[in-house]
Amino acid sequence: MTEKQYEKATFAGGCFWCMVKPFDEQPGIKEVVSGYTGGHVKNPTYQQVCSETTGHYEAVQITYDPEVFPYETLLELYWQQIDPTDEGGQFYDRGQSYQTAIFYHNEKQKQSAEQSKQKLEETGPFRKPIVTKILPASDFYPAEDYHQHYYKKNPERYDAYQTGSGRKAFINNHWGEK
């Protein structure tokens, strides 16, 4: 019997609290970790990343089975969680650490991400240009424990944040009620 071949996908979509649940609930997803990537400081803390001095993005790193949940399907789900036209952050979270980006782990992921972005630009529900960056994956640092699976640990606060930030209404308006 051969061991399952899992792959990694890394997405920045604003507050990482809101990026875990949509992926965590899918078949073939082994793990979703909130963390920081793309910066120049080793093992940054939440406070350092929020200071906008480390160059990191808040992101999620997903370990998945590509035979059950292909990367292209991950990309489709990713686009439906963000405002890909907002270059200043996401919803009421502003700054570089809250910008959107797809971090590819290999050339195939890069090509899939570029094709997916182009398709969204041509057929998606947005009038403004898609500004989400496609960048090579770099070191990923898991966030502090209290950030992991926040939607499970603090469901009321999570729901209030999703609603209060405008993310939930935006998703429903552009992609329909989930």
Query: Which residues are catalytic, by number?
Result: 15
DSSP per residue, 79-118: HTTS-TT-TTEETTEESGGGSEEEEESSHHHHHHHHHHHH
Cα separation values, 21 from 17, 24, 78, 125, 151, Å = 8, 5, 11, 23, 7
Cα separation, 149 vs 9, whole angstroms: 17
